[in-house]
Amino acid sequence: MTMAPEETETEVPEGHVKLIVDGEEVIAPKGELLIRTAERLGTVIPRFCDHPLLDPAGACRQCLVEVEMGGRPMPKPQASCTMTVADGMVVKTQRTSPVADKAQQGVMELLLINHPLDCPVCDKGGECPLQNQAMAHGRASSRFVDTKRTFPKPLPISSQVLLDRERCVLCQRCTRFSAQIAGDPFIELLERGVHQQVGTAETAAVFSGTPAPEPSDMASKTSSGAPFQSYFSGNTIQICPVGALTSAAYRFRSRPFDLVSSPSVCEHCSSGCAERTDFRRGKVMRRLAGDDPDVNEEWICDKGRFAFRYAAASDRIRKPLVRDAKTGELVETSWTEALRVAADALSKARDARGAAVLTGGRLTVEDAYAYSKFARIALRTNDIDFRARAHSAEELDFLAGVVGTTPDHVSFAAIERAPTVLCVAIEPEDEAPIVFLRLRKAALKHSTKVVHVGQWTTSSVRKTNGELLACEPGGEAAALDGIAQHAKDLDAGLAEAGAVILLGERAAEVVGLFSAVQRLAERTGAKVAWIPRRAGERGALEAGAAPTLLPGGAAVSDADARAALESAWRLDAGVLPSSPGRDTTGILWAAATGDLDALVVGGIDPDDLPDPALARKALAAAGFVLSMEMRPSAVTEHADVVLPIATVDEKSGRFLNWEGRPRPFTVTLEGTNALPDCRVLDTLAVEMDADLFTQTPQASFADFERAVSAGRSVVRETNGSGTAEHSRPHAGESNGNGKLKLATWRQLIDEGSLQAGEPHLAGTARTAVVRLSAATARDHGIEPGEHATVSTERGELTLPAEIADLPDGVVWVPARSPVSIRTALGVGHGGAVSLSGGTA
Amino acid sequence: MGMFDPLKGFGVTFSTMFKKVVTEQYPEDYYPTAPRYHGRHQLNRHPDGLEKCVGCELCAWACPADAIFVEGGDNTEEARYSPGERYGLDYQINYLRCIGCGLCIEACPTRSLTMVNFYELADDDRQKLIYTKEDLMAPLLPGMEQPPHPMRLGESEQDYYVHGPELARGRGVPSGETVETSVEEAIQ
């Protein structure tokens, strides 16, 4: 016997309300927008301005629905993207309400009145929300018979974003993104009524009839007249629901149906953003932000979006090169020949005075692990370092404690929730843009207090509503030690649960900073996160591509850990080298003075190293240099054998982002025949009679996991005992006769080798200037706007001067301007320099 | 089998000798096809010689055999190939794949792509059957100019599109000649 189901009153949980959508009863959390409630029920209400990560605006009016409150219908259809749910609400969407449907069709007709019929030439055609929704919810014909409003187009609002005002439906997604998320309000709504348009002060002048200024004048200026240098402008292109904002780099390159999309991970910084790589006929056409709420939400920086052309550069090395003994030129040769030459030379060097490995900071975990294992088994040395930048033994000790941390320690979400975040020796917007976006979100939405230990009020400080704890470059450690006495509120803030200290790569240039951070963290209980600038550093650290650490983070001096690793690697006992290796500068010094016979060099630019002159000398002096490169570089100039390797698009693997979160990705471009580093090293090792078992990234990762779990089985000895012996002339830091202190870091967009071949991106780089305080400028007779010359006994650098709130006696210069500051001046952050008024 | 059957058979052959011959002597003789026959494609020009193709790829999108490849390009003031912002930088039709259905023609928003009656699309080299933009572009008629060049006809865009054909007469396009150039006449 069947019974009619009993009508039971659905219970409404705390903080929820009950309403009826399209005749269906639904429980929704308080504060939810109607458009999302309907979406959960499977009804997609058409919309343009609504974006889940932006504040509601109700600008496009496309999402109109019929709403009834307390039995009384609202007089007009309501915008469901701005109205939140309420108890007892009755909502009828276009599915059940002819009124809502008619209202939506009417709005669509209105939006299309001035929208040009240029879909065939529009980049958005084929993936256009307006196109799709006009098909789904629009009328088949328009009643509009007059002439459409036209504007001159396209207008470049920066060198990489083009504006077409005819196509704009004024949804304000771009302006809201710029103002709320990025904090660079470079575009605004201008004019009123029918003339309303998105634009900048410069584009406003370009109204029909007015003579157009030169596009170069318009590009890269904000409405305030300041140069437009947003690092996040590419996101406005992606979220534009019509083709009003298009990308100069992707302009007319392909249609959505030509493209094969592949999820990928950004190779530029240590945030490890999820991306979508679209390619056509074996060539990457564009990259878009992927959706990963835990990491980058739906945003990426312009570097991640636009800097991918280096992989398709015409000078890519596709075949192994060996230096001809007679002519001294690199000659293309076969893999067998090149590997034989390299293996012979490396074996000889290993048996003589030794060979060392410099991996560079851009490797996947798999590749870094292969380098690490190659150094230990094939070269039988611990002389391996991933740090192609300023570094210190103190840093290495600190990093031993970083190994193995996961997002449970500090994550993006933890930053967002933190009551207080202290940024030490890091400029988030330049070094980790997605961390910067989270900091800004935390500050704006959760009132997180963000304090920057730095030199001047940078845009990161301003846009995170931050506080600057100004100190001299090099004085960061003292500043941290002084917090307890001089900044009691900050001290209390850091003691709150969830407080976070972010530490950048520049910390390695400040003596005593790591221990000062650790002291502060121990005293206050704040968690410390190390945020390197490069994508591969965290993974390389984990893979043991460091002179004192084995894969998994055990110290090389730890006999138990070595024994465990030997058994995991199926080696004879006692084979692994036990003495700590040299670090990057130590390796270069040894190579330059003849203590090392050979160098294996991954992707390294000598200009990034603490002492470029020493690096060049070492590369020239080393008996044999093996370079694993994709394009000719300063290293290949000196290399005896160059082995071509795959770019991220051509291989699979995983990065470990700064949180310690694995960011795996698969091959985007199949069939290029390019080999990942791990495969090349595996074959090379076989030639040297050592088995790495890293033939593929998959095999390499499996072997890496075995090695790490073997390391975990033994109790980790306290690290740091073996690093003190690195007594060597500290070549980079010449404390010359300069009176001023230098502050410096790399800006996001500069002359980095992975940004090659992308002029549109380069156009939005921040201009290189010398920043100094008004008093310092006055003392040295420098007027703002004039040029200033910063010099050491090594050389000098002349750039336009700009006044900022730096401490007196401090000058700031970008680390690439475009020459490397290390190459030009021979000093880094905290170095001593002289200043004089210069001529352009 | 009767004894006269072989003769009957020869009789058929013999009588055929006096009937009208239907065999077409191709390739010695060339017979025109029906006027709307779907032959080779052609990329048409505006009356001043600019290309009509805007590189929109709708033909490639419509093609059921995936025979068409298009890549768009950006017109600049210095190098203008078509009126407007965009032109077809690369245009290829693979006649190994093309099934002559004509959907591409229907998709073309500018009437740039049309088909002519030319049907001799056979070769002994697969590579030669991928026709590129140079092979497909309509020939330049008198009064036309090889792009890149600025829009030559009329004062405004409106003028160019609406009155272009009449304005072109003044530039030497002979009367009676269609400015929507077609090689049909040229081939016949």
The encoded tokens of residue A732 equal 């980079």
pLDDT at B164: 81
pLDDT at A731: 40
**A606, A615 Cβ separation under 8 angstroms:** yes
Place of tokens 């249609």: A255
User: What residues in B contact A154, CB-CB < 8 Å?
Assistant: 85
- Looking at the complex, report in whole angstroms how far the Cα of residue B179 sits from the nearest Cα belonging to chain A: 23
Neighbouring CB atoms inside 10 A of A482's CB total 14
Residue A58: φ, ψ to 5°: 65, 40
- Looking at the complex, report in whole angstroms how far the Cα of residue A258 sits from the nearest Cα belonging to chain B: 9
Binary contact (A255, B110; C-beta < 8 A): no
Binary contact (B110, A120; C-beta < 8 A): yes
CA A112 to chain centre: 38
User: What residues in A contact B75, CB-CB < 8 Å?
Assistant: none
As beta bridge partners, residue A643 has: A628
Neighbouring CB atoms inside 10 A of A665's CB total 24
Going from the C-alpha of A484 to that of each of A121, A180, A494, A523, A618, the distances in angstroms are: 62, 34, 10, 9, 45
The pLDDT tens digits of the residues spanning A634-665 come to: 999 999 999 999 999 999 999 999 999 999 99
Does A371 score more than 90 pLDDT?
yes
Binary contact (B86, A126; C-beta < 8 A): no
CA neighbours within 13 Å on the CB side: how many for A818?
9
**A421, A494 Cβ separation under 8 angstroms:** no
Q: Which of residues 117 through 156 in chain A touch B, CB cutoff 8 A?
A: 118, 120-121, 125-126, 153-154
pTM for this prediction: 0.91
CA neighbours within 13 Å on the CB side: how many for A319?
9
Residue type, A251: R
Going from the C-alpha of A259 to that of each of A148, A277, A310, B56, the distances in angstroms are: 33, 9, 20, 15
pLDDT at A326: 93
pLDDT at B187: 43
pLDDT at A738: 64
pLDDT at A563: 93
Work out the burial of residue A295: count CB atoms within 10 Å of its CB; fewer than 13 is exposed, 13-18 middle, 19 or more buried.
Answer: buried
> Could you tell me which chain B residue has the CA closest to the CA of A254?
B71
pLDDT at A226: 52
> Could you tell me which chain B residue has the CA closest to the CA of A154?
B85
Binary contact (B60, A258; C-beta < 8 A): yes
Binary contact (A251, B110; C-beta < 8 A): no
pLDDT at A726: 38
Binary contact (B61, A252; C-beta < 8 A): no
Work out the burial of residue B62: count CB atoms within 10 Å of its CB; fewer than 13 is exposed, 13-18 middle, 19 or more buried.
Answer: middle
Entry field: residues in chain B? 188
The encoded tokens of residue A320 equal 């192994």
The pLDDT tens digits of the residues spanning B162-180 come to: 888 778 777 766 666 555 5
* Of the partner residues A118, A154, A255, the one whose CB lies closest to the CB of residue B61: A255
Going from the C-alpha of B25 to that of each of B22, B29, B31, B185, the distances in angstroms are: 9, 5, 9, 21
More confident: A10 or B184:
A10
pLDDT at B77: 86
Binary contact (B85, A153; C-beta < 8 A): yes
* Of the partner residues B71, B89, B109, the one whose CB lies closest to the CB of residue A120: B109
Q: A355-364, A401-410, A486-495, B176-185 — which is least confidently predicted?
A: B176-185
B interface toward A at CB cutoff 8 Å?
A: 54-58, 60-61, 71-74, 84-86, 89, 109-110
Instruction: Compute the mean pLDDT over every residue in chain A, rounded to the nearest whole number.
Output: 90
More confident: A209 or B102:
B102
> Could you tell me which chain A residue has the CA closest to the CA of B74?
A252
pLDDT band at A601 (very low <50, low <70, confident <90, very high): very high
**A711, A770 Cβ separation under 8 angstroms:** no
Measured CA angle at A227 (ends A836, A506), to 5 deg: 60
The three-state secondary structure class of A798 is: strand
Place of tokens 């865009």: B157
DSSP string, A230-246: -TTTHHHHHH-SSSSEE
> Could you tell me which chain A residue has the CA closest to the CA of B58?
A120
Does B134 score more than 90 pLDDT?
yes
Binary contact (A251, B71; C-beta < 8 A): no
Residue A198: φ, ψ to 5°: -90, 140
Q: A5-19, A42-56, A130-144, A203-217 — which is least confidently predicted?
A: A203-217
**CA-closest candidate to residue A375, choices A218, A112, A184, A596:** A596
Going from the C-alpha of A472 to that of each of A514, A817, A836, the distances in angstroms are: 17, 22, 20
Does A320 score more than 60 pLDDT?
yes
The pLDDT tens digits of the residues spanning A403-458 come to: 999 999 999 999 999 999 999 999 999 999 999 999 999 999 999 999 999 999 99
Q: Mean pLDDT over residues A39-55, rounded?
A: 95
What torsion do the CA atoms of A807, A808, A809, A812 make, to the nearest 10 degrees?
50
Q: Which of residues 93 through 122 in chain A touch B, CB cutoff 8 A?
A: 118, 120-121
User: What residues in A contact B58, CB-CB < 8 Å?
Assistant: 120
The pLDDT tens digits of the residues spanning B114-131 come to: 999 889 999 999 999 999
**CA-closest candidate to residue A129, choices A45, A54, A65, A196:** A45
Q: Mean pLDDT over residues A767-773, rounded?
A: 91
User: What residues in B contact A155, CB-CB < 8 Å?
Assistant: none
The pLDDT tens digits of the residues spanning A723-754 come to: 343 333 344 444 445 689 999 999 999 888 89
Which residues, 6+ apart, have CB-to-CB distance to A765 below 8 Å? A229, A747, A749, A750
Q: Does A258 touch chain B (CB under 8 A)?
A: yes
CA neighbours within 13 Å on the CB side: how many for A496?
16
**A622, A637 Cβ separation under 8 angstroms:** no
Instruction: Compute the mean pLDDT over every residue in chain B, rounded to the nearest whole number.
Output: 87
Binary contact (B72, A120; C-beta < 8 A): no
Cis amide bond preceding B27, omega within 30: yes
Place of tokens 């074959």: A683
**CA-closest candidate to residue A21, choices A75, A88, A73:** A88
Does A230 score more than 90 pLDDT?
no
pLDDT band at A3 (very low <50, low <70, confident <90, very high): low
Does B1 score more than 90 pLDDT?
no
pLDDT band at A6 (very low <50, low <70, confident <90, very high): low
pLDDT at A335: 97
DSSP symbol at A110: H
Does A715 score more than 60 pLDDT?
no
**B72, B83 Cβ separation under 8 angstroms:** no
Q: A7-11, A175-179, A400-404, A432-436 — which is least confidently predicted?
A: A7-11
**A130, A169 Cβ separation under 8 angstroms:** yes
The pLDDT tens digits of the residues spanning B64-98 come to: 999 999 999 999 889 999 998 999 999 999 999 99
Query: In this complex, how many residue pairs, one in chain A and one in chain B, have their CB atoms less than 8 Å apart?
Result: 38
* Of the partner residues B54, B57, B110, the one whose CB lies closest to the CB of residue A255: B57
- Looking at the complex, report in whole angstroms how far the Cα of residue A283 sits from the nearest Cα belonging to chain B: 13
pLDDT at A218: 45
- Looking at the complex, report in whole angstroms how far the Cα of residue A105 sits from the nearest Cα belonging to chain B: 25
CA neighbours within 13 Å on the CB side: how many for B151?
20
Q: Which of A121, A123, A166, A285 to mutate to test the interface with B (most CBs of B within 10 A)?
A: A121
Return the percentage of chain A with pLDDT > 90, whole number: 81
pLDDT at B182: 45
pLDDT at A7: 54
User: What residues in B contact A258, CB-CB < 8 Å?
Assistant: 57, 60
Q: Does A209 touch chain B (CB under 8 A)?
A: no
Q: Is A428 left (phi over 0), alpha (psi -120 to 50) or beta?
A: alpha
Kindly provide the residue ranges of all beta strands, DSSP E only, lying in B95-144, ordered along the sequence: 113-115, 130-131
Alpha-carbon distance of A271 to B52, in angstroms, equals: 46
Return the percentage of chain A with pLDDT > 70, whole number: 92
Alpha-carbon distance of A351 to A663, in angstroms, equals: 38
pLDDT band at A720 (very low <50, low <70, confident <90, very high): very low
pLDDT at A109: 93
